[in-house]
Amino acid sequence: MAAIDQAPAPPAAGRPSRARRAAGQRDGFTPWRWLILIVAGVYFLIPLYAAVRFAGWGSFRSVIHQSGFASSLGLSVRLAAITTVITLALMLPTAVYVHLRLPRLRRLLEGITILPIVIPPVVLIVGLLQVAPGFLKSTPYLLALAYVVLAMPFAYRSIDAGLRAFDLKTLVEASNSLGAGWPSTLWRVVLPNLTTAVLSATVLTVALVLGEYTMASLDLYQTFPVWIVVFDQTSGPISVAASLLALFVTWLFLLAITMLGGRQARRTGGGEVALFSVARRDTGRTS
Amino acid sequence: MDELVAAEAPGIPPDPGAAATPAGGAVSLARGLRRAAGVVPFGVYMALGLIAPLIAVAIGAFQAPNGGGFTLSNVKTATHGVYLHGFSQSIQLSIIAAVLPGIFGLLIAYAIWSAKRGAVLRRVAITASGVFANFGGVPLAFLFIATLGSSGLATRWLADIGFDPYQHGFSLYSLSGVIVVYMYFQIPLMVLVILPALEGLRPAWREAAANMGARTWQYWRYVGGPVLMPSFLGCVLLLFGSSLSAYATAEAMTSGTIPLTSIQIGSFLNGNVLPGQENVGKALGLGLVIIIAVAMGIYVILQRRAARWLQ
């Protein structure tokens, strides 16, 4: 209302050109947009460049021959596999169920699953070591159970975005009315539509586990990131090379998934899942 | 769980409101419980993996070491001297490392979102944000040591053009350095969480404003800004929590020389403890959780206001 009152009445001739200008600004590449993106690009790319220079090409080749590399990476990969399996087994049915039966709980679930982003892992590991039973504390796999909690925000958001990208309710009702039972509906109707979302949840979870340092170092297990820090005492360039390798591999996976997501969206005509968000699709459906 | 779903599956639309007839109170309660059964595994896991450890920390904060009785000495120690200083440093760092990336992240997100023709740019930027937002910790610290460390690449470039940051009070291993490094994962996190809010801005609002003769700044001042404000503040609070709880980056970069609360808690776990103070770490942890709980409470309220516009 205030906008209407205070806006000076424009001369009739000026009106269309202003409207056109406003519309044009939404599409075009105005200078300030370039400025922002270039500054951001510089800030994000220079450290990568500096790290590549610092490591030198030789370090990339010799990193896999270092002592402790294979065993620490092996442990991290095992933890990543266990974490991913548990996360998906827990989150997929829950998210589908909430979407279908308890849509009111969606906001609550969103709130709960954001908690691990802000609850300090340091505090979580202190408490976890306090409450965990002894047989779990003596194995590194307690970490996998804790990582499931840490991965929750990313996994839930990916799957939630995937579920919003197609008309879950209609598909499930159609499947049920054709006589398919629940297991078959989940496996043959819901899951194929969630391929991208599941992949993106998987990659984000794996990336998280492969990069997690806080809990692993305080639980005194030498996972890959812990090894990188420890090895830094021996050779700085090789540690930096290992860090960069971890980053590039994750990036490649994520890029592959976003491209796959775009292709799937074109094929099925559904919304496009991009990691956390889903591109708006006008179906008139309210959630 | 499948069985429970199947029991009500045949074409009955989930309609929570219909069950609440006065006659069927008990029936609706039973149905509600049965319906909630589907989220039990998730709930149990979260209770054991997230809530129970937090409760253990809270209890431990008020316990004397070695299974002793109730005491307030942990809390007293945690709120004095170096630990009080740690809290204040942590909060200062987190405020700056939330507001600055919040503003930059919003600008970048807007630049990405409004470039409707740049579908490729959009995809690359969102993917890159996903990677960088996850890219905390150790590798990040190493990246910046190679860049802005005392003999880093960018440091030498700046020194060559006559502006050596280390001559002007900057050090990567101080609070200002940690802030620069935190921005590296905070900005992408902001981009990811604010994009959905930007997508809630209807083009029709902009067109309506333009039709009524509003200039760009007027649109942002009276329409776009007020609609975005709750989401923006909410996201900044999220960033605040995320940098308050960050540990790995600062630890790997400074080896614990900056007194941040999260690092102090870590040093208790590493066994650097004075006798009699074993549980002070838990009191510090409780303090962090309380600060974050307050921030999250505000976040929830703001999100509720934002939801009115975004639904």
B219 to chain A, minimum CA–CA distance in Å? Answer: 8
Q: What is the pLDDT of residue A75?
A: 93
B74 to chain A, minimum CA–CA distance in Å? Answer: 15
Which chain B residues have a beta carbon less than 8 Å from that of A277?
126, 192, 195-196, 199
Closest CA to B131 of A240, A207, A153, A49: A207
Question: How is residue B204 written in tokens?
Answer: 């029709």
pLDDT tens, residue by residue, A103-152: 888 878 887 887 887 788 889 998 998 888 888 888 888 999 999 999 88
Asked if A269 has any chain B CB less than 8 Å from its own CB, the reply is no
Inform me whether the pLDDT recorded for B228 exceeds 90: no
Asked if A15 has any chain B CB less than 8 Å from its own CB, the reply is yes
pLDDT tens, residue by residue, A212-248: 888 888 888 888 888 888 887 777 788 888 888 877 8
Delimit the CATH 1.10.3720.10 region(s) of chain B. Answer: 73-310
Contact call for residues A254 and A274 (beta carbons, < 8 A):
no
Domains of chain A and any CATH numbers: 67-278 (1.10.3720.10)
* Nearest-CB residue to A47 (from B147, B195, B282): B147
Rounded average pLDDT over B258-270: 84
B56 to chain A, minimum CA–CA distance in Å? Answer: 5
Q: Picking from A67-76, B111-120, B223-232, which range would have the lowest pLDDT averaged per residue?
A: B111-120
Question: How is residue A174 written in tokens?
Answer: 């159609």
Contact call for residues B204 and B211 (beta carbons, < 8 A):
no
CATH dotted code for B73-310: 1.10.3720.10
pLDDT tens, residue by residue, A69-115: 889 989 998 999 999 999 999 998 888 888 888 888 887 888 788 78
Asked if A280 has any chain B CB less than 8 Å from its own CB, the reply is yes
The secondary element (H helix, E strand) that includes residue B281 is helix B280-310
Which chain A residues have a beta carbon less than 8 Å from that of B132?
44
Residue A285 vs residue B61, higher pLDDT: B61
B138 to chain A, minimum CA–CA distance in Å? Answer: 7
Residue B199 vs residue A22, higher pLDDT: B199
Asked if B212 has any chain A CB less than 8 Å from its own CB, the reply is yes
Q: How confident is the model at residue A284 (pLDDT cuts 50, 70, 90)?
A: very low
Asked if B218 has any chain A CB less than 8 Å from its own CB, the reply is yes
pLDDT tens, residue by residue, B147-199: 888 778 888 888 888 787 777 778 888 888 888 888 888 898 888 888 878 87
* Nearest-CB residue to A240 (from B130, B146, B154): B146
pLDDT tens, residue by residue, B67-109: 677 878 788 877 878 888 889 989 999 999 999 999 999 998 8
d(C-alpha A242, C-alpha B279), whole Å = 36
The strand pairing partners of A273, in sequence order, are A278
Cβ count within 10 A of residue A154 = 26
Q: What is the pLDDT of residue A262?
A: 62
Q: What is the pLDDT of residue B282?
A: 87
